[in-house]
Amino acid sequence: MSRNLIAIRTLENDEINHLISLGADFKSRIRAGEAVPRLDRKVIGMLFFENSTRTRVSFEQAAFYLGMRSSNFSTSSSSMTKGETLKDTILTLRYERLDGLVMRHRASGAPVLAARHFGGPVLNAGDGQHEHPTQALADALTIIESKGKIEGLTVAIVGDVEHSRVARSNAWLLDKLGADVRLVGPKTLIPTRTARLPGTFYYDLEEGIDQADVIITLRLQKERMKEGMVSSAGEYASMYQVNSESLRFAKRDCIVMHPGPINRGIELDDYTADGSHSVIHHQIENGVFVRMAAIYHCFGGGEA
Ligand code: NCD
């Protein structure tokens, strides 16, 4: 049975746990040079309508490890510059017999529209301010590797929560799996309570990361901001930067995460981005393996 992966919010805990453990299994097999199941002769379209480094390359790597061919596609080089609608583009790829799609788009909900018209597996690689499910899976695997569990941990998600699809997918996943989720940032960058995001709001960094086991920092998403939401990046940094000084409030063995791309000197100082608390490189590596798991699962694979 083929499936889509659009959002963490609508997944059952069993499916989330399955994807994380399948990702861990693929990781150990690839590292040991062992065989993994293959989706030979399947072609997956990589539709990146917004810029990406990590997510795009890790989906390509994941497809490669599964023996698939990926077909790359970006707005600037496609017929969308000639006025073709998203729906017609998706239908074109369907009748060109692509087997699945990975899609990033600036509009929240675009992958749902794509899934409706494509008819096969569609994986959301980040849609607007909505969700980025595979990033949350990569982060969950990274947390489990460091802390052995998710349940009972205090996780502070710090920064531009309002515009961040990473924050949303992480908040849903971590809350479902039993973590105490805190959303930390200036009032203008924390969603209003009506946004129904799980977690407790904190507007003060020291309180928000007090005794935290995990700190997930976020990039200021200037491209999605209205004027005046933060007065300046410098002022934001002076109040919310996670650095050697603010880290003293978190647990001594806390881990620091960032989905990338990092604005060094704004969300994080170099000491924290590169130091012993940072698990950022693990997040990147785990991205490949959870995306293998996500593709395999969406193409109907069962136990590996
Ligand atoms: C993020 C994204 O694009 O949502 N990056 C990523 O995929 N790892 C975060 C960001 O752009 O800040």
Spacing, Cα 126 to ligand 1 middle (Å): 8
pLDDT tens digits, residue range 120-163?
A: 899 999 999 999 999 999 999 999 999 999 999 999 999 999 99
Q: What is the pLDDT of residue 304?
A: 57
Q: What is the pLDDT of residue 221?
A: 86
Q: Which CATH architecture has domain 133-283?
A: 3-Layer(aba) Sandwich (3.40)
pTM: 0.96
Residue-wise pLDDT for 241-259, tens only, equals 999 999 999 999 999 999 9
Using alpha carbons only, give the angle 262, 111, 61 rounded to the nearest 5 degrees. 55
pLDDT < 50 positions in the chain: none
**Pocket of ligand 1, candidates 135, 223, 285, 286: which has the most ligand atoms within 8 Å of its Cβ, to mutate?**
135
Q: In whole angstroms, what is the distance from residue 42 CA to residue 79 CA?
A: 24
- Provide the pLDDT for residue 194: 58
- Can you tell me the distance from the alpha carbon of 176 to that of 198, in angstroms, rounded to the nearest whole number? 9
Contact 50, 104 (CB under 8 A): yes
pLDDT at position 277, please?
98
Q: Is the C-beta atom of 163 inside 6 A of ligand 1?
A: no
User: What pLDDT, on the 0 to 100 scale, is given for residue 120?
Assistant: 87
Evaluate: CB of 135 within 6 angstroms of ligand 1.
Answer: yes
For 258, list phi and psi in degrees, rounded to 5: -160, 130
List the one residue out of 159, 174, 248 whose CA is nearest residue 211.
248
Note the pLDDT of residue 219.
94
Tokens 């990046």 belong to: 233
Cα–ligand 1 centroid distance for 266 (angstroms): 16
Asked whether 158 and 208 are in contact (CB, 8 A), the reply is yes
**Residue 208's pLDDT is what?**
98
pLDDT at 227: 73
Q: Which residue has the tokens 């499910």?
A: 133
- Which pLDDT belongs to residue 150? 98
| CA distance linking residue 250 with residue 201, whole number of Å | 17
Ordered by start, the domain boundaries in the chain are 13-131+284-298, 133-283
pLDDT value of residue 303 = 60
Indicate which atom in ligand 1 lies nearest the CA of residue 55.
7
Q: Is the CB of 258 under 6 A from ligand 1?
A: no
What is the rounded distance in angstroms from the CA atom of residue 170 to the CA atom of residue 166? Answer: 6
Beta strands 180-184 and 43-48 are: unpaired
In ligand 1, the atom with minimum distance to the C-alpha of 259 is: 8
CA-nearest of 246, 242, 266, 270 to 256 is 242
List beta partners, residue 43.
Answer: 69
Question: What pLDDT is attached to residue 63?
Answer: 98
CATH hierarchy code of domain 13-131+284-298: 3.40.50.1370
Q: Hey, whose CA ends up nearest to atom 12 of ligand 1? A: 219
List of residues 6+ apart from 227 with CB closer than 8 A: none
